[in-house]
């Protein structure tokens, strides 16, 4: 199932890459940054900061750092990605991350390689990802996980979304809402998620994202600045 979703989505993204190559569109409208803070029911707190960079006419890059803390886990990580995008069609790219975690007083290293892509369809986005995870020491776990979902912009600053997560141990689903209120002058958003799954209790999370960038609608920002 996971392989079929990944293969089908890769075929859908081929027009985005070929069009961007032919037209020379930028993958990121301008250099911009983002800071995010999220709280998940149960006491998990995580934060991240990143910068998005245009590279020539076709490519964009993302560089960032992350922190996480809960009752039995704390740690930090960093990530980097490279992607191609056409503002009218979609994007596709790869991101790698490395995390050093203290889990129940045991040092754990998590390395992840992930392919992400999205297709823009009017006021909707269709997106998917495929990731490979290695957990050390001693390769405690090696796994591949995938996801696929869609989002709908009810208004340019209101985004509803849902996604399915595919994992041999725990399939999940997520639904959520992201809003960019007027009070933040189109520079910040509030996001709310609900996630449940086969081996996961239903949890709610809330996040605040601040964008160090030119004010613009959430729909425009997601399609011109952010790699998701």
- Looking at the 3D structure of the chain, how many domains does it have? 1
Strand 172-179 to strand 188-197: parallel, antiparallel, or no bridges (unpaired)?
A: antiparallel
What does the alpha-carbon distance between residue 153 and residue 142 come to, in Å, rounded to a whole number? 36
- Residue 149 has what pLDDT? 98
CATH of the domain at 185: 2.40.160.160
Q: Which string of DSSP letters, residue by residue, matches 140-156?
A: SEEEEEEEEEEEEEEET
Helix (H) or strand (E) holding 6: helix 2-23
Largest CA distance in the chain: 52
Instruction: Give me Rg for the CA atoms of the chain.
Output: 17
Q: Which structural domain, as residue segments, surrounds residue 54?
A: 2-224
| Sequential pLDDT tens for the chain (228 residues) | 444 434 444 444 444 444 444 444 679 999 999 999 999 998 999 999 999 999 988 899 999 999 999 888 899 999 999 999 999 999 999 999 999 999 887 889 999 999 999 999 999 999 999 999 988 865 556 678 999 999 999 999 999 999 999 987 679 999 999 999 999 999 999 999 999 988 778 999 999 999 999 999 999 999 999 999
What does the alpha-carbon distance between residue 109 and residue 88 come to, in Å, rounded to a whole number? 38
- Residue 205 has what pLDDT? 98
- Residue 169 has what pLDDT? 67
């Amino acid at each position: 199932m996971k392989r079929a979703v990944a293969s089908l989505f890769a075929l859908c993204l081929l027009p985005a890459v070929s069009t961007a190559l032919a037209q020379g569109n930028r993958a990121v409208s301008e250099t911009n940054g983002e800071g995010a803070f999220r709280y998940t029911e149960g006491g998990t707190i995580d934060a991240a900061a990143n910068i998005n960079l245009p590279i020539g006419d076709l490519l964009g890059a993302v560089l960032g750092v992350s922190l996480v803390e809960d009752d039995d886990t704390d740690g930090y990580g960093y990530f980097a990605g490279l992607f191609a995008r056409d503002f009218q069609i979609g994007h596709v790219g790869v991101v790698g991350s490395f995390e050093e975690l203290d889990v129940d007083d045991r040092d754990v290293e998590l390395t992840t390689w992930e392919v992400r892509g999205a297709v823009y369809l009017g006021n909707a986005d269709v997106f998917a990802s495929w990731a490979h995870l290695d957990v050390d020491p001693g390769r405690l776990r090696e796994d591949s996980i995938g996801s696929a979902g869609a989002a709908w912009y009810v208004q340019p600053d209101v985004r509803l979304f849902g996604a399915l997560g595919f994992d041999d141990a725990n399939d999940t689903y997520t639904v959520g809402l992201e809003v960019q209120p007027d009070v933040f002058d189109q520079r910040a958003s509030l996001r709310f998620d609900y996630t449940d799954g086969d081996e996961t209790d239903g949890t709610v999370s809330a996040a605040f994202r601040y964008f160090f960038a030119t004010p613009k609608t959430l729909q425009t920002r997601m399609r011109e600045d952010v790699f998701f």
